[in-house]
Amino acid sequence: MTLLLLVVAFASGATLLYLSHRHQGWLARPLSAPWARFGALLLLAALLAGCTLYPVNTTVCAFLVGLMLVWGLLPFVPLLREKTGGNTEMISQTAAGKTAENNTVEKKVMGKKPRKKLQPDWWSKSVAGAVLGLSLALALSGLFAWLGPGGIGAPNKVQFNMWLIAPLWMLVFSFVYLIPSGRRALLWLGSANLLAYGLLLIAQGRWPL
């Protein structure tokens, strides 16, 4: 029962965070900021509760893999819905013999300001996710090795540090396509790399303050 509650809280928090993003495809408009904060609190509560009930290493790894899975699958749900239900807006625009009421509704829909779409900078985003995402995952794994439970000398921690790299990398790789442009993806991930490696050097004592 406890595990089921943790899974529900985790899935609800991840879904609320996704639906509050401006590029989500489920709703006509994203959820408001309070819903995003509530989703973040649910995720944090699930993570903390999991760490108290289960080993920290297992909980953190499962948390990252779960985020990667949920946020990777949620964007495809509207595509399945469109295939099964059909695009009613396109049908209404192309159908012949519309009534005056339908024409009025169509004009209102056409008059709405379209949302800003993501720029399809697939090459630059893919390079940023593949190269900078991997280097960022390595730095974060190193930070966990030095600053995590037991420090760098903790027994049975080396294997977990190796396992941690893949879910972190895939999580960043999945997130990078939500960034509006390839230039921003390179800039944001590059800045995150500089910060992560700077903190790693400080944790290792190789960068005196």
Q: Is 13 exposed, middle or buried (0-12, 13-18, 19+ CB in 10 A)?
A: buried
Residue with tokens 């037991």: 150
User: Whole-angstrom Cα distance, residue 63 to residue 43?
Assistant: 9
What domain range is 5 assigned to? 1-86
Which residue type is seen at 144?
Answer: F
- Mean pLDDT score, 181-185: 89
Q: Residue 9 falls within a domain, yes or no?
A: yes
Q: What is the pLDDT of residue 135?
A: 92
Q: Residue 128 falls within a domain, yes or no?
A: yes
Identify which of 141, 6, 19 has the alpha carbon closest to the alpha carbon of residue 77. Answer: 19
Which residue type is seen at 160?
Answer: F
Higher-confidence position of 71 and 89: 71
Q: What is the pTM of this model?
A: 0.52
The confidence band for 62, taking pLDDT boundaries of 50, 70 and 90, is confident
pLDDT, mean over the chain: 78
Q: Which domain-ending residue is among 66, 86, 106?
A: 86
Q: What is the pLDDT of residue 104?
A: 53
b/e sequence 112-132, b meaning 16+ C-beta within 10 Å: eeeeeeeeebeebbbbbbeeb
Identify which of 138, 150, 143, 187 has the alpha carbon closest to the alpha carbon of residue 56. Answer: 150
Q: What is the pLDDT of residue 73?
A: 75
Q: Which domain-ending residue is among 86, 102, 137?
A: 86
Q: Which domain-ending residue is among 42, 65, 86?
A: 86
The confidence band for 45, taking pLDDT boundaries of 50, 70 and 90, is very high
User: Whole-angstrom Cα distance, residue 127 to residue 94?
Assistant: 40
Q: Residue 98 falls within a domain, yes or no?
A: no
Q: What is the pLDDT of residue 103?
A: 52
Q: Residue 78 falls within a domain, yes or no?
A: yes
pLDDT digits (tens, 9 = 90+) for 99-151: 545 555 445 445 555 555 555 677 888 888 889 998 999 999 889 888 887 78
As for how many domains the chain has, the answer is 2
Vertex 138 angle, CA 9 and 140, to 5°: 45
Q: What is the pLDDT of residue 90?
A: 46
62, two tokens: 């499962």
